Structures are given as C-alpha cells and as structure tokens.
Chain A
C-alpha cells in the first residue's frame, strides 16, 4: 500500500499526487511509468512518473480525471492509500547531448514531459519547452518548466495566455527561428500525430511517448500494441517512447477507442 503524502490541484480536473514508493523512487529514470490500481474492483491504469524524491521515498503522479479510474484517484486525499503501485516500467528516455531540444506537451502530457525536460537540460542541451492547452487555467507546471529549461513558449487555443494557437504553431515558430536537433512530444495522440507530421516536413528527429490502453504493463498481454515502422511493438516494454515518424498514429487512435462505449 502506498500512502499519499501531498496533493495539489493544478486545475479543476488535474491533480498532482505525491505517493510513498521508496523502491520505485530509487530505481526510476526519466520516461518511466507506473501501473496504478485503486480499490478492490479497480482497473490497472498506466501513469507516467512526473518526478521522484529519493530521500523522501516518494514519486509524483499528475492525473487528469477523464474516466472512472482516474476520477477515483483524483478523489483521494493526503493520508489515503493507493491500493497498488507497480514500477518503474518501460524503457527510460535516451538522454544525450544533441544540441537544441524542443519539448512539446499538451494537456496532462505536460507532466510526463517534466522529467525529460530536466534530464535533457542537465545533459547540457538547450531546451525549449512548448506548453499548450485549451485555455489559461489548464496550463500546468509552467514554473517548474521555466526552472529546468532555457525557454518556455505558451500556446492557448483561445489566446487567454501566451500566444493564441496550437502547439504545432509554437513548435514551427521555433524551428523557423533556429536549428533544432531533436523534438520530444507528449500529449493526446492526435496532437502527437500533428507534431510528428510537422517535424517530418523539417526532417527533425522526433520522439513521441505513447499512452495506449494497458492491462499488466509488463509485456504479458499485448493490449498496448502499436505498429512502429511496419512492425508490431508493445508500448509497455518496447516503449513508451518511439521514433514518432515511424508510429502509425491512425491505428493507435483507433485502438484507443476500443472501449469507448463501456467507459463511464
């Protein structure tokens, strides 16, 4: 059982939980995720580790209430226990010094982007972060991103904060302005698809962190499979990060809808 030691509301539907998990905190790296189950009838859902504190023995998860399971987690309070937390899972992000890195995040995808931003910055890269959301209130982790990067570009659909426009416009402005060596994108599948199409045009290597349906998260079932470069891969063990230009996003979006009619 994993105790919740702090809770913060980022917005009406987005919550940050800091959870006791000393072994995971010690072994996790940027890009890793955990599988979480809440309640005896709970389902297993994947969540990226947004941060960890080895001394306190905690990991940080940022959760957006979108369905029954994420809502249950968001309703937990400090002192409550999460039934099961297992990890760290997946392959860690490949971090090296490449030059200039653009990190593009949308929605709750901004949270898993934070450890990657930190790691690329610590490795001596120039890191430019593009944060996108529908409206001002939904922009999260801006401060932490500023503290760990060289520049933060904010994009909102309605222009209520930063520049009005989509994440792709923000990324394109940077590309037109200066040479970019690598792009990392995390967010809704449709957003990653468009970021990927954009960077492909400019021939900039791009990494996407995929968030597919998962059950066990250890390679046992194949629920998370995607086609990458014409081959079937399991996101939970081969990923979650892949060469975005090789990912079949249309198939991924189709598979994400598998249980649309049964989700409450």
Chain B
C-alpha cells in the first residue's frame, strides 16, 4: 500500500466517517484555538528545572482535536519533514483513543514527545493547515502531538512499534542526536542491526547538552531513547568515530552501511578584542555545563560562572535558551544583544515571547565590537556599536549597518557568544574520499542523502550547517529509506 492509499483507507474507516458527520465544519472552525497552560513568568524565571509549557489537559486536547477538519488531502502532512499522519492521530484524540494516537505518531517519528515541544510548527505543519486559508489560526498540531506522546508515557503502557524480521545486516550510526536517532529507529524497524556511536557520555546530542530542561526535560528524551533500545538499537557511548574507531575499523567489524550524523557542534566566535577574557564563552560551553553536566546543581563537580549582568550575543533559539538559563541562574540583568531588529530574529516567536515575559532585555540593533576586562582578566564591560537597517542582503534580510560614532558601553560580568555553529570537522577529516563543501559540510545527494563514499550516508547539521531538530530527523528518515533500498538491491 502506498502512503496515499494508507491515508485514504484510514480516513474511510467507519468511526472516522462518523466523527466527520458528527460535527459541521463550520462548528469546528468556530472553536477557538487552545492556549497552552504555562508556569507564571515571575515564578519560572527563578526555577531552572521546571518546564514552562505545562501541556494540554484531556479536555483541552479533545476540544482542539475537534477543530481539525480531517481534510481528504491533508496539506499539513506536506509541512512535516518526517510525514506524520497528522489527521489520523488527531482524530484518535478527538474520539479519546490517546494511545492509538501515540502509536500513529511513532510510525514515522522516533521522538514525538521531543518534536511536539521543540519543532517550529508555525513554519512547518501548522503553516499548511487549511484553517489559515480561511483566516483562522491553524490547528495546534504540535500541542496535540506532545499531548499524545506525554499521555502514552505517563500511562505506563508504552507500545513498541512492529519490527521486521532481523536481516542480520549491521549498520553504524555516528552521533546520537535527532538525525541519528530518527535514522536508527527507521532502520531497526526494517530489521537491521543498528549500533549508534556517541562521543559524549550521554545519548541525545543537542537534546541533552543544548536544549534546557525548562523547554525539554532530559527524562523525556531518555524515555524516547529507551523506546529505541527496546526496539533493538544498540548504543555505544564514549566512542568517537574517526578517533576511537576508524572507517576501516567499522568495516572490519562488519558494518555494511554508515550514517554520519555528527552535527554542527563547532561554535563560531566573532574574533573581536577581549573575546578570550574570563567570563566570555560560547553558548555551547555554557549550555553544556548547565544541561549535560548539571553544573548549577551543588552536587555536580562541574562549575559554571553565574553572572549578575549577562549579555548573550545573537538572536537564534540557542541565544534564547542561553539568556533564559542565565536568568534562572540568578542574573539580575539578562540581555540579548542582536545586530538586526526583532523582526529578523531567527528564534521562534514563542521563545522570544517567553524570554520577554521572564524579564530578558532586548538590545536589538546593537553589535559588540570589544570586551573590556579588569586586572585579573575578567570581563567587565562590552562596547556596543549601534546599527541601522540597510538594503536586503543575500539572505533576504535587511543588512545591519553601523551608525557612525554611536558606541555605547555596558557593564557585564558574563558574555555568552551565540552567533552560530559550524559543522564538526572530525568525520570530514577522518573519512578519506568524502566530498566536502567550502563551509565544511558533507555533500550528499538530495534525494538519497548518499555521500561520495558508496556506503556512507549523512544527514542533519553535518550536511545543513546549523538547522532544526525536525529537519535533522527528516534527513534520517530519508537516508534510512535510501540505504535500505540500496542494500536490498545488492
């Protein structure tokens, strides 16, 4: 059965027809979009571990599910990089079959509880919802996804997806971030023996070291990883492919296919004076200390500087995660310093809104040009160049240009540099024969994610530069389909 046929068959099931008949589209459209319950901003800006978004109640979820018109040609699915059967899972929520909804999510997504929390749905599935054409807000697909995944986890009745008969073919995955996990889930379902190699001491990549607890609790990531383990995926921690094990070693161990998902973990700095002062660090270092190493916990051996006046340089999600973390670690003044205006910020609207509610200051149209330190080499001030917006640049965003002579000095005792990341060079250096772009990404076929080495596929940030969790997962799915196809035809 093709995907289209499966969608049509599911839509034609009697219970679903009955649901559609049970309420007129007009009535469905008239229901107001649900609002997510959140922790109080004042309270949450001082609590590091509690999630800000509290999730939907059963009643809220079922009401929101009624808004979905169950379109015969569901355009929302085209907006989802992993192709979740969106109306099928939502209609199960509408009829109260929450576990059934969770099962449908897991057919195509290895990490629904994660994606329901961190995907920019407004740019993906929800941007294609039919309601938007009628001037109404989109169905809250992300909230519903999160609801179904959370409901299943909390029910204690977690289902394990069906697995094809084992085919005895060994597949290696380099990196346990979203791309690697998504690929591993799809391949193990197809019967392959999948081993995921991770350099750090925890599985999950950016989901563990990057995204903070208040947005994505580690225990939720762990439950989804345990699900993969139960499906038969093997995880090897503390193992760096390219260092601990070479390309040849993997062949010697009998791996027939390798999926490289080593990410873009190399932080960019601006190379301005004073950037190596004590107290100036990358967001990767700051977030790794706090999230992976639990440095704010007195029990942890890893220290972290807790600034009183913290500036975070940049306007992406990582910058928002860093500045909100700084606020939670006691910063009296937590500032975003961004060289463009708020309109051009790449961060999700929700993150910007949350940051503002939590008392974060936004110094937009400001760009740091120098950091000044004291006699002990600790950062004390930053010099900011004021900017104005000029003509659009190659990215289509208006280019920031310095305003002559407008320089401001601001007191700071901690600066977190969050101006992007570059692809990790380890695999590009260690695997001879790969084609590498000028930016350091691995070049792969767009349709099959296959590299210049016939047994090596790659996906996620190592082929895209810094992108999103769900795009990485989509790459993993695509690569799994292509590698499976290739191996079956040998």
> Which A residues lie within 8 Å of B372 (CB)?
none
Check B158 for interface membership: any CB of A closer than 8 A: no
Check B269 for interface membership: any CB of A closer than 8 A: yes
Using known A-B contacts A215-B285, A222-B281, determine if residue A258 contacts B293 with beta carbons closer than 8 Å. no
Q: Are A262 and B303 in contact (CB under 8 A)?
A: yes
On chain B, the number of residues with a Cβ less than 8 Å from chain A's Cβ atoms is 41
Interface string of B261-303 (1 = CB under 8 A from A): 0000111010100011011011011001100011001011111
Check B426 for interface membership: any CB of A closer than 8 A: yes
Q: Are B244 and A24 in contact (CB under 8 A)?
A: yes
Bound Cα distance A263, B302 (Å): 9
Check A84 for interface membership: any CB of B closer than 8 A: yes
Instruction: Report whether over half of chain B's contact residues are helix, strand or loop; otherwise say mixed.
Output: loop
Q: Which of A27, A226, A232 contacts B244 (CB 8 A)?
A: A27
Question: How far apart are A190's CB and chain B's nearest CB, in angstroms?
Answer: 15
> Which A residues lie within 8 Å of B279 (CB)?
258
Question: How far apart are A45's CB and chain B's nearest CB, in angstroms?
Answer: 9
Question: How far apart are B283's CB and chain A's nearest CB, in angstroms?
Answer: 9
Q: Are B377 and A222 in contact (CB under 8 A)?
A: no
Bound Cα distance A193, B288 (Å): 31
Interface string of B235-256 (1 = CB under 8 A from A): 0011110011110000000000
Q: Which of B265, B267, B275, B303 has the most CB of A within 10 A?
A: B303
Q: Are B278 and A219 in contact (CB under 8 A)?
A: no
Question: How far apart are A49's CB and chain B's nearest CB, in angstroms?
Answer: 12
Q: Which of A68, A83, A216, A219 contacts B200 (CB 8 A)?
A: A216
Instruction: Report whether over half of chain A's contact residues are helix, strand or loop; otherwise say mixed.
Output: mixed
Using known A-B contacts A23-B244, A216-B200, A255-B278, determine if residue A43 contacts B377 with beta carbons closer than 8 Å. no
Check B199 for interface membership: any CB of A closer than 8 A: yes
Bound Cα distance A84, B300 (Å): 16
Within 8 A of B (CB), among A42-89: 42-44, 68-69, 72, 83-89
Within 8 A of B (CB), among A124-176: none
Bound Cα distance A85, B199 (Å): 10
Taking Cβ atoms with an 8 Å cutoff, the residues of B that contact A are 199-201, 209, 237-240, 243-246, 265-267, 269, 271, 275-276, 278-279, 281-282, 284-285, 288-289, 293-294, 297, 299-303, 305, 376-377, 424-426
12 inter-chain pairs at a CB distance below 8 angstroms, sorted by A residue, are: A37-B201, A41-B299, A44-B201, A72-B301, A87-B244, A219-B265, A220-B266, A221-B267, A222-B267, A251-B276, A254-B278, A258-B278
Taking Cβ atoms with an 8 Å cutoff, the residues of A that contact B are 23-24, 27, 37, 39, 41-44, 68-69, 72, 83-89, 215-216, 218-223, 225-227, 232, 237, 251, 254-255, 257-259, 262-263
